[in-house]
Chains A and B, each alone.
Chain A
Amino acid sequence: AQSVTQPDIHITVSEGASLELRCNYSYGATPYLFWYVQSPGQGLQLLLKYFSGDTLVQGIKGFEAEFKRSQSSFNLRKPSVHWSDAAEYFCAVGAGNTDKLIFGTGTRLQVFP
Chain B
Amino acid sequence: EPEVTQTPSHQVTQMGQEVILRCVPISNHLYFYWYRQILGQKVEFLVSFYNNEISEKSEIFDDQFSVERPDGSNFTLKIRSTKLEDSAMYFCASSANSLIEAFFGQGTRLTVV
Contact = CB atoms under 8 A, between A and B. Distances in A.
Interface stretch (B13-21, B68-76, B98-106): B98-106
B27 interface: no
B72 to A, nearest CB: 20
Q: Is the interface of B mostly helix, strand, loop or mixed?
A: strand
B99 A99 contact: yes
Nearest to B46: A100
A44 B43 contact: yes
Interface residues of B, number: 27
A51 B31 CA distance: 19
Contacts, number: 55
A106 B38 CA distance: 13
B48 A100 contact: yes
A5 to B, nearest CB: 10
Interface in A23-47: 32, 36, 41-46
Interface of B: 4, 6, 31, 33, 35, 41-45, 48, 50, 55-56, 58, 91, 93, 98-107
Across the A-B interface, the 10 shortest Cβ-Cβ residue pairs? A44-B104, A43-B106, A100-B45, A103-B43, A99-B48, A43-B104, A94-B99, A105-B42, A103-B42, A43-B105
